[in-house]
A and B are shown apart, each in its own frame.
Chain A
Amino acid sequence: MKRFSEILLTGIFGVFLVAAMVMTIGNRDDVYSYYENRLYAEMPQISASNVIEGDFFNELESFLCDHAAGRQTLVKAKTETDVRLLRRPVVNDVVIGDDVLLPFNAFERVDEDSVRRQAESMAARHAKLRDVVESYGGTYLYTAVPCQYVCYEDSYPFYLNNREEFTDIEISSLTESMKKYGVSMIDMLPVFEEDQAAGISPGTDGASAEESGGAPLYSSKVDNHYSLQGAYLTYGEIVRRINETTSYHLGYPQGEEITFRKVEEPYLGSRQRKLMGTVPMNEHLYEAEFREKIPFTRTDNGIKSEASVYSGAAFENGSVTYSLYMGGDIAETVIDTDRPQLPSALIFGDSFTNAVEAMAYYSFDEMRSVDLRYYTEMSIAQYIEKYQPDIVICIRDYESLLATDGNGRLF
């Protein structure tokens, strides 16, 4: 029996090594990991210098790790084990809550003075941008929207960082500084909370405020972004503020003018995606349909595209992602409704702008959208000077209110 066990072990080990080698070589053509939302490492180019320095072998290891036999299956199995068997509180940087998947926030020590200084500096920069817009008679509006960890602060276990302290200082100091510099600013968190308290808007699953059991209706449980309901409230508040503070009378679809159609395919939020789709949740995306169809043309990065604000490319593996709205993050999109009697607009910001833009073209003649994380041709200030949109709207989520890179890089 001993000898048999030795033969068996040695044989299995040998077969494992050879099979892993052969299958890894066979996997070399895979280029993209859907669940990780990233490109796999490429086979390194061999050169005398990178071989001598040892870099080639390090890069080769990254390539082999990404293309290792059974990787996708094993990553999924490991995630499933961590979530269900080992019940780790945080898996793949996702906090596994009761009925909600949240981001893991690094532990931090909040330096109040530093946050206030950053807020002051950011407000000054927006004031400068506002001056650029107003120099040709335009209107500038800054909108802060809560991201998921803000909406679900109370859902974090006591020992994890829900960023409550940071958020409180950040938003209060930014609001104060914006006021000081006279920059028109909307904070959507109180708007969302008032709406929910009043029981006005339904949630992502059509649930009422009462049915939701107090869970935020305007934010996704499985993704960093708001629901379409949250985006709709944001759009409405922006229109209301513009109509209140300018001579524009922008139209805004309400009541029977707009219907929200549930997308049947299950929503695969970014948190679920990080968990390799192993934690299904009953959440759906919605599409807004206007009673009065608004014809438009669409241009992405200077190239004419399909005239739609909902992307079919967002459907994959039987589910749909947030990139349903506007087709995800694109450097520059122009939607032209050819209604010259209406003002033109520029909306810039991260992906939180996408769901708003999917409805906001209703109110404008030409709606431009720029994402400075990808748009590199010129600064946003130069862009504004070049196109002189009547209304410029900046939408930033709470996590990036003070960030000076990406869409915080204004000049």
Chain B
Amino acid sequence: MVFSSISFLTFFLPCLLACYFLIPSRFRSARNGVLLIFSLIFYACGGPKFLLLMLLSIAVNYVCGLFASSSYGRNVRRTAMWASVVIGIGLLGYFKYAGFFAEIVNSLGMAVPVPEIALPVGISFYTFQGLSYVIDVYRNDADVQKNPFKIALYISLFPQLVAGPIVRYTTVAEEISSRRESLSEISDGIVRFIFGLAKKMILANSMGEVADAAFSQNADEMSVAFAWVGALAYTAQIYFDFSAYSDMAIGLGKIFGFHFLENFDYPYISKSVTEFWRRWHISLSTWFRDYIYIPLGGSYCSGKRQIFNMFVVWACTGMWHGAAWNFIFWGLWFFVLLVGEKYLWGNGLSRTPAPVQHIYALLAAVISWVFFRASDLPHAFSYLAAMFGFGDGLWDGQAVYYLLEYAPEWILCIAASMPLKVLLQKKLENARDKKGSGTAAALLIWWPKLAALFLLIISYTELVTGSFNPFIYFRF
């Protein structure tokens, strides 16, 4: 089930809200029970056969967490932690990478059957959440949770279950046991959820149609203009799709009293690739930083070792996104740029005018998304060739059509990629606090809510009128 569906919006959510809030808040366990049951139903709607796998993952992490706690000796704790890592990564490896590795083996001349294994929805996300819990317990960064239902709720909590953000156990540990839902937070959560829904329904889906048209075409026959239109459309789609899901997850979390950390911070205004990765999929990059990069030695080692550490992290980041060479290449593309910024051109870049830095970072992102979206590596290279003039001509009717047809969405995408909302908010807050403006105070209270209600109608309209509705990050 996805958030942007009629079944979620008009059936699942109202039923959950009713069941949850009809229980008095003092019965925290009962409320948690409702959330857990609905979370399992939410996951099961995508195909109940994979529910068992998630329950297995929960059980493994729960048991490993118990033995990784400070109550046990060092060897037991270490064994439990490694058991969790091996089983978690093993399951992920089997379901996500078995086919890919079999193809590699076959390409080396050894004939092995290529298994056709369906990828369980959200496996990459809940595996990483489970691992973070056990590792944090092992490191004494988190207290062990002895109640299996609370671990089950942490791992299966539906808002972030299938497409992130990757919520650390330490972020929500306390809130699972004792949290307070308030009208103010519910209202904020609703606004955040609706803004996310609108981003998905209005911007991401429209840009997806443009990107699909471009990437389904033979790159050799594409004009430069259309190739760029397609690449920019996908650049917009992936951001508004994924950040929309995070917005909805954060909003839904707030409604139920949870506070998930932000996952995006206007990444396309970055001035460098380093900055871009501080603003993009923050929960994933910090996960790799804390659980792979730093344990490998991080930046406190020789230059060569640092480069090796970065290579491992970015190869893993690429692999995490998909079992294909283009994803690995995508990760390594960022590895090269980040190493380059750290050791070669970073200082020089920072001395160039701000627009140059913005263009550089955006260009790096756009090119990276071509690797990400292309069907395979050869397609990515031929698409990039078309973008740089090795396709068919400079422009064609398609480029004009997709710019004109989606002109309102292009304009909105540009506006929504920039922190205009934050600037407006600050301006209004200044007017309210320093000048005592009543209008500003009223606007601060009312505009997000009124905008949300308007966007709810638009999003619902898009929902019932369109069938084009896939979430990109469901693939991971």
A residues with a Cβ closer than 8 A to B are 1-3, 5-10, 12-14, 16-18, 20-21, 24, 51-54, 57, 60-62, 64-65, 68-71, 74-75, 77-78, 86, 88-90, 107, 109, 158-161
Residues of chain A contacted by B183 (CB below 8 angstroms):
3, 6-7, 10
Q: Given that A9-B449, A159-B404 are known contacts, is A68 also in contact with B5, CB under 8 Å in the complex?
A: no
Residues of chain B contacted by A86 (CB below 8 angstroms):
407-408
Residues of chain B contacted by A24 (CB below 8 angstroms):
6, 10-11
On whether the beta carbons of B190 and A9 are closer than 8 Å, the reply is yes
CA of A13 to CA of B9, assembled, Å: 11
Q: Is B151 located at the chain interface by the 8 A CB criterion?
A: no
Q: Which of B14, B186, B400 contacts A10 (CB 8 A)?
A: B186
CA of A208 to CA of B9, assembled, Å: 55
Question: 25 pairs across A/B with beta carbons < 8 Å?
Answer: A1-B442, A5-B449, A6-B183, A10-B183, A13-B453, A17-B14, A20-B9, A21-B10, A21-B14, A51-B48, A52-B48, A52-B49, A54-B49, A68-B463, A68-B464, A71-B464, A74-B461, A74-B465, A88-B404, A88-B405, A89-B401, A158-B400, A159-B404, A160-B397, A160-B401
CA of A202 to CA of B136, assembled, Å: 83
Query: Chain B, 409-448, contact with A by CB distance < 8 Å: what is the 0/1 string?
Result: 0000000000000000000000000000000001001100
Report the number of A-B residue pairs with Cβ-Cβ less than 8 Å: 121
Q: Is the interface of B mostly helix, strand, loop or mixed?
A: helix
Residues of chain B contacted by A61 (CB below 8 angstroms):
5-7
Q: Which of A3, A18, A68, A88 contacts B14 (CB 8 A)?
A: A18
Residues of chain B contacted by A75 (CB below 8 angstroms):
464-465
**Chain B residues bordering chain A, tally (CB within 8 A):** 46
CB distance from B49 to the nearest CB of A (A): 5
Residues of chain B contacted by A9 (CB below 8 angstroms):
187, 190-191, 449, 452-453
Query: Chain B, 233-276, contact with A by CB distance < 8 Å: what is the 0/1 string?
Result: 00000000000000000000000000000000000000000000
Q: Is B398 located at the chain interface by the 8 A CB criterion?
A: yes
CA of A9 to CA of B193, assembled, Å: 13
CB distance from B222 to the nearest CB of A (A): 10
Q: Is B46 located at the chain interface by the 8 A CB criterion?
A: yes
Q: Given that A5-B446, A52-B49 are known contacts, is A70 also in contact with B398, CB under 8 Å in the complex?
A: no
On whether the beta carbons of A107 and B442 are closer than 8 Å, the reply is no
CA of A379 to CA of B184, assembled, Å: 70
Q: Which of A3, A5, A90, A158 contacts B405 (CB 8 A)?
A: A90
Residues of chain A contacted by B141 (CB below 8 angstroms):
none
CB distance from A37 to the nearest CB of B (A): 16
Q: Which of B45, B186, B401, B463 contacts A159 (CB 8 A)?
A: B401
Residues of chain A contacted by B462 (CB below 8 angstroms):
78
CB distance from B412 to the nearest CB of A (A): 11
Residues of chain B contacted by A51 (CB below 8 angstroms):
48
On whether the beta carbons of B449 and A158 are closer than 8 Å, the reply is no
On whether the beta carbons of A64 and B6 are closer than 8 Å, the reply is yes
Residues of chain B contacted by A69 (CB below 8 angstroms):
10
On whether the beta carbons of A107 and B10 are closer than 8 Å, the reply is no
Q: Is B460 located at the chain interface by the 8 A CB criterion?
A: yes
Residue of A65, A86, A160 contacting most chain B CB atoms (<10 Å): A65
CA of A328 to CA of B449, assembled, Å: 50
Q: Is B212 located at the chain interface by the 8 A CB criterion?
A: no
CA of A10 to CA of B453, assembled, Å: 10
Q: Given that A20-B9, A20-B460, A68-B10 are known contacts, is A6 also in contact with B453, CB under 8 Å in the complex?
A: no
